[in-house]
Amino acid sequence: MSLQGEFQGPGIEQYKLVICEKPLAAKRISEVLGTKKIIKREPLSGVVIFEIISNNDQRFIVCSALGHLYNLFPLEKNRKKYPIYDVKWSPRHSTIVRERSRIMRTLRVISDISMGASEFIHACDYDLEGELIGYNILQYACRNKYEISKRAKFSSLTDSEINQSFDNLYNTNIRIADAGKARHLIDFIFGINLSRALVNCLNVSNQNEQYHNLTIGRVQGPTLGFIVNREINIRNHVPDPLWYITGKFEKSGSFFKANLNSVVHKLSDIEKILRECRNEIGVIKQIIQFNKKINPPAPFNISSLQKEAYRIFKMSPSTTLSVAESLYLAALISYPRTSSQKLPSSIGYKQILKQLSINYDKKNENSIQELLKRKYLVPYQGKEEDSAHPAIYPTGVKQKKLNMFQQRILDLIIKRFLSTFTNSAVMRYIEVTIHVKGHDFIAKGNTILSHGWISIYEPYFSINESKLPEFNRGEFVRVDKVTAIEDFTRPSPRYNEASLLDKMESEGIGTKSTRAEIINLLIKRKYITQDKIGIEPTELGFTIVNTMKKYVSEIVSTKLTKLLESIIEKIEKGDLDLNDVCKYLKKSLETPLNKIKKNECAIGDEIKNVLSLSENSIAIGKCPKCQEGKMILIKSPKSNKRFMVCSQYRVTGCNAIASVPQIGFIKKSNNICTCGWPMITIMFTRKKLWRICVNRVCPKNRYNKINNHPESDSNTSI
């Protein structure tokens, strides 16, 4: 394939090759630059390019990658061998034949077009990943053209930003590309060596009879460790009883509530307090009043957007990122993969506000007009900075047809942007201390004096007002009623995706782009599960972390990960050479790999046992002993006999165990025996159904034929 001789205009002999990261970005850039002429071509099936001529008669051919077209591969072909440090960049391999074929066709088209190009423009996303995507294409597909290429920098795909970026091209920065290469190299070398070491432990234990895809890495390990540690604390928590005492008070016909200023931990104290306070008169001991400003929220970066979308819409972080990227490619918002919480004046505040006023619903038009009347527009800024991109902001471009998720995220970003320019809200707080027979009760109230930014950010944020009567110190109020509510101390809640992202960010592991992917990978590997309650480690996840803690504790610690992150930062700043990374990797991996090798039988046995249990286990019912775990039906990998144990035996050591019949198909009956142990239903040959209590010493422990039982259904398949 060659494009020479085609699309020749008067006075035009050569073209510039533009490399974009995604097809929609290539289309958008072509629409903006190709003001004189634009031709869409498909040289090979599924590979679209754009041949364009700009206003000043510059000729471009715009091509697109599909994200990363190149990945790292080990030179050593033996998958069982480790450690390995010799790797190379090769076209990305996909298990999907159609995708793999499209990658190769895309590289072929770009390679052929590059032969006739006079200049090369790197127009991928301006961050480490985007720089690396363009670098690999320019180096390998275009044959060492990275150093002579130019860089287009933009934070949104609006007409003005695209035109400005192509009118002011920069030299490419090899340090950023090297930092991207270093991150991939570190992740790949760590991941492949530690994962192969784990798989080898399992193979040694089961003599290569069973294969299981086990992975662990420098971010996977600590993240899984956070989840397991939190779960252990939850399950080991012993709830202590406590009581909250609330009084209902009356003043001049108005009623209000106040809480005892301390929690009661002894049952013996409850009746005493209730008796002393009931039907008594209280005196106003202290009044504290003050006004408090509530500043507007900081502009969104990708982490805060993901957390806010989860809080409001229960949208997963990975979904939020995907939706935000689609809005960016439609030129509706700025580049979302940013850690910045600052909006520079260079983005053009007034122009964006004018566009929002014209192109979006009129609900906030009055607020926008008020902002436009200001002589100076100063947004409330956050602390985080990103040298590559500003905080996420709406461009004001008229929205096209959007799906429900896109509409929600776009509206959230618009309201957040507007609220950063609005005045602080002002609250009037009042706290009144009421003294009753030696006991102090606290009544709290708050009133909104000025809604400020809250009126714009609604319904995503609101404050419930709580008004109190007017008080003077020393005046009396009557106790109308006093009650005690029993409660128990609670452990920290399980992580959800948003709080886990927050934990990863605060610990400095992962990146703004990869944290959500790590969580999804842990789910894919069946190390964790998630439901409405939160994220919970599986038995396999528990075993991986506990085994690593026992033998190779540094793998689930954040210390090593933070060290490697600092190496990447040093490379980007030019304080460290990329060639030195392998030395750090070998030094960092030597000790943990030796520990794994030394203990491979013990590690393999623990993993094998939990895999055997998890693959053959069925949850039957609640454990009658600890009341925390579930009775699970498992099969011994050694004797091949089945029995029941508490799912918490690895965590708390609960020794609840029960034998079950060794023949017949077992299904839980959802019934509990009078002795407290779960019942099971067993199907023998000819569909004969029996119900049994699994408690060995239960007085009713006998087989009961239930074919004619009123609760049974002989036509039900089990």
Strands 87-91 and 117-122: unpaired
Catalytic entry in 15, 135, 335, 380: 335
Q: Locate tokens 């029996």: which residue? A: 690
Tell me if residue 335 is catalytic.
Answer: yes
Which of 409, 455, 453, 227 shows the shortest CA–CA distance to 307? 409
What is the rounded CA–CA span in Å between residue 368 and residue 363? 10
C-alpha–C-alpha distance, residues 635 and 643, integer Å:
6
8 A C-beta contact, residue 111 and residue 142: yes
Q: Tokens in use for 163?
A: 């035109």
Closest CA to 537 of 283, 228, 87: 228
Give Cα separations from 616 to 358, 611, 621 (angstroms).
61, 8, 16
Which residue, 513, 489, 541, 554, is CA-closest to 651? 541
Using a CB cutoff of 8 Å and minimum separation of 24, what contacts does 441-448 make?
Answer: 441/247, 441/249, 441/258, 441/259, 441/260, 441/261, 441/282, 442/258, 442/259, 442/260, 442/261, 443/249, 443/256, 443/257, 443/258, 443/259, 443/468, 444/468
Question: Tell me, what DSSP letter sits at residue 31?
Answer: H
Pick from 183, 121, 123, 133: which is nearest to 155 by CA? 123
* Tokens describing residue 252: 């001049």
Which residues in 340-436 belong to E strands, given as ranges?
Answer: 425-436
Is the sign of the CA dihedral 516, 521, 527, 528 positive or negative?
A: positive
Rg (CA), the chain: 32
Nearest Cα residue to 540 out of 657, 647, 668: 647
Q: Give 538's DSSP letter.
A: -
Question: Active-site residues: which are they?
Answer: 335
